[in-house]
Amino acid sequence: MNLFINGKGIELDCHTAFQAREMIGNPTDIVILSGFQIEEDCLLKENDKLAIIPKGILPPQEELESMMVARHTPYVHEKVKKGKVAIAGLGGLGSNIAVMLARIGVGQLLLVDFDIVEPSNLNRQSYYISHLGMPKTAALRKQIEEINPFIKIETQTTRITEDNIVEIFSGYDILCEAFDKPEAKSILVNTAIEKLPGMKIVAASGMAGYESSNLMRTVRPMKNLYLCGDLENGARIGRGLMAPRVQICAGHQANMVLRLLLGIEEV
């Protein structure tokens, strides 16, 4: 029977997934068949895609990518791997967006922030005590390399201004706006819309406090602009930024990025 195992075509004299594992792997290996990890043996058919994954070992790049393909919906990874996504601001939104995009295997990420990791960031941002004092760009690069060392990462440790937006973000398919301050959000989004007309922009507004998660949504106010959040609850005195709603909003942004990379423009 002809099969694709860990990304390679192979012919095996077997009829079930566990028989294939016995022939080329170990009994403790994880078996993923067409995007689903199986716990019970299943019959195979010609040209099935199978991943047989040893536990606790970093595989070579080709095998790691084939395993990601196996865990995703078929044909998703090939498109995601070609994606080039820029993230402006690496705080509660941006750091979590970057980690999610790394986990789905986006091929190239640009991480932009001027700041360092400090203790008040730890309540909602994807950093640890060991990162304190590090530039956020460096700390996040280090995390992503621990998730997927084969992603291409570019960093810019600089403050974004109206004058450098085009220089920094040209060449990227999608721009994630992940700033805290409304003024900075407005400058970035308006400049990108005007001067980078082919770029898709995924921005955020309204993720403070502990209002219902169900208020979060993604809307499309114009052709290349997507806005995520509840569009109402900004941070202010008496309503701070907390991990759950910030990460829900970051999830909306990351999922919209994924949809755009797959060619789906509807919210």
CATH value at residue 53: 3.10.20.30
User: Do residues 95 and 126 lie in contact, with contact meaning Cβ atoms separated by under 8 Å?
Assistant: yes
Kindly report the three-state secondary structure assignment for every residue of 59-117: CCHHHHHHHHHHHCCCCHHHHHHCCEEEEECCCHHHHHHHHHHHHHCCCEEEEECCCEC
Residues 166, 116 share a domain: yes
Structure tokens at 74: 């078929």
Q: Which of 17, 47, 73 is the last residue of a domain?
A: 73
**Total of domains in the chain:** 2
Same domain flag for 22 and 137: no
31 shares its domain with 142: no
State whether 9 and 39 are in the same domain.
yes
Statement to judge: residues 34 and 127 lie in one domain: no
The verdict on 152 and 59 lying in the same domain is: no
Whether 104 and 213 map to the same domain: the answer is yes
224 and 244 co-located in one domain: yes
Give a yes or no: residue 171 inside a domain: yes
82 and 64 together in one domain:
no
CB 151 within 8 A of CB 142: no
Each residue's pLDDT tens digit, 102-149: 999 999 999 999 999 999 999 999 999 999 999 999 999 999 999 999
Predicted confidence (pLDDT) per residue in 12-42, tens digit: 999 999 999 999 999 999 998 887 889 999 9
94 and 228 Cβ atoms separated by less than 8 Å: no
In a domain, 266, yes or no: no
Banded pLDDT at 74 (limits 50, 70, 90) = low
Return the CATH number at 251.
3.40.50.720
* pLDDT over 80 (residue 196): yes
Instruction: List pLDDT tens digits, range 39-66.
Output: 999 999 999 988 898 888 878 888 778 7
Let me know whether 200 and 237 are in one domain.
yes
Within-domain flag for 20 = yes
Residues 67 and 85 in one domain: no
Cβ pair 119, 128 in contact under 8 A: no
| Residues 17 and 60 reside in one and the same domain | yes
Residue 267 lies in a domain: no
Q: How far is CA 69 from CA 125, 191, 221, in A?
A: 28, 36, 33
**Domain boundary pick from 73, 88, 117:** 73
Which comes out higher in pLDDT, residue 44 or 67? 44
Residue 204 lies in a domain: yes
More reliable by pLDDT, 149 or 93? 93
Position 105 in a domain:
yes
Count of CB atoms within 10 A of residue 258's CB? 21
> Which residue range(s) make up the domain with 20?
2-73
Of the residues 39, 73, 107, the one at which a domain ends: 73
Task: Tell me the per-residue pLDDT of 167-187, one tens digit each, with 9 for 90 and over.
Answer: 999 999 999 999 989 999 999
Task: Give the Cα separation of 50 and 69 in Å (integer).
Answer: 10
In this structure, of 3-12, 106-115, 166-175, 200-209, the range with the lowest mean pLDDT score is 3-12
